[in-house]
Amino acid sequence: MKTFTPALIKILIIILGFSSQTQLVAQTCSITGDIESCENEVVTYTSNDSGYVYQWNAYNGIVSGIGPIVTVNWNSPGTGLLTLVVKDNLNQVICTSSLDVTIHENPKPTIYPSFSSSCSNDIYSDDPSGEKEDRGPCFSVCDSTWLVYSTENNIGSTFVWNVTGSATVIPSTSNQLQVMWTGSGTGLVEVTETDSNGCIGYNTICVDILPKPQAAISSNPAPSGGNKCMQHARYPVYK
């Protein structure tokens, strides 16, 4: 199957646009709109040229609407191309134009929780290769435990954190967030990253907050002649 490049599409659109004319009119339409976009972003484009029929086409994008104003949902990162042919009521071409668009990839932040020394079952564990292995859908932590959540510190990016659940949070706009979980139940940690191109990415992890076990102390009767103050304590074991 033949692959059409943006340059070839430009030529085909112009040829098809002029196919109904016996004489070509070298006139360029106006297209107003952003020449840079994020992937899956919807951008509005406008033509100020008067006409009866507006034929919009997009390479690596989806056009919505008819007439002089349309929107384009740009797809995968890379290069996009928007073309326009304007015709009159006799189906004669008034003008043509094209616009190259750069499509930037959205950031994809990953949240890495630190490890608590007790009562935890992290969703990530270190292995000798330095990789982090996924161990389940949620991160488990004891109440009243401070943890640090971090994501890649990409140059030019800004970060917004949001925590849901019973927790004390130290506000942060960096790539790290400190949280102390309290009580028990379920919580969420979400980060929103906006990169230097203005593109936005999100990620969320869930947290299981576990109550810390309490020490149970009991006393046993001392044997005859023994120390009556002797007590035996049972202490909790942290997993």
CA distances from 33 to 44, 45, 71, 109 (A): 6, 5, 10, 29
Name 184's Cβ contacts closer than 8 Å, sequence gap at least 6: 143, 166, 209, 210, 211
Q: What is the residue type of 14?
A: I
Q: Where in the chain is the domain with CATH 2.60.40.1080?
A: 112-210
Token pair, residue 193, equals 């990253």
Q: With beta carbons less than 8 A apart as the criterion, state whether 220 and 233 touch.
A: no
- The fold of 112-210 is Immunoglobulin-like (2.60.40)
Among the listed residues 146, 112, 149, 147, the one whose alpha carbon sits nearest the alpha carbon of residue 132 = 112
**Average pLDDT, stretch 138-147?**
88
Does 206 score more than 90 pLDDT?
yes
Q: What is the residue type of 194?
A: T
Q: With beta carbons less than 8 A apart as the criterion, state whether 21 and 86 touch.
A: no
CA distances from 239 to 37, 141, 196 (A): 49, 11, 43
Does 230 score more than 50 pLDDT?
no
SS3 12: helix
Answer CATH for 6-104 from 3.90.79.10, 3.40.640.10, 1.20.1250.20, 2.60.40.10: 2.60.40.10
Q: Where in the chain is the domain with CATH 2.60.40.10?
A: 6-104
Confidence bin at 145 (pLDDT 50/70/90): confident
* pTM (two decimals): 0.70
CA distances from 58 to 127, 143, 170, 233 (A): 46, 53, 46, 75
**Average pLDDT, stretch 213-236?**
49
Return d(Cα 41, Cα 75) in angstroms, integer: 8
Token pair, residue 145, equals 């435990």
Which stretch of 73-77, 97-101, 180-184 has the lowest confidence by average pLDDT?
Answer: 180-184
Q: With beta carbons less than 8 A apart as the criterion, state whether 83 and 98 touch.
A: yes
Does 111 score more than 60 pLDDT?
yes
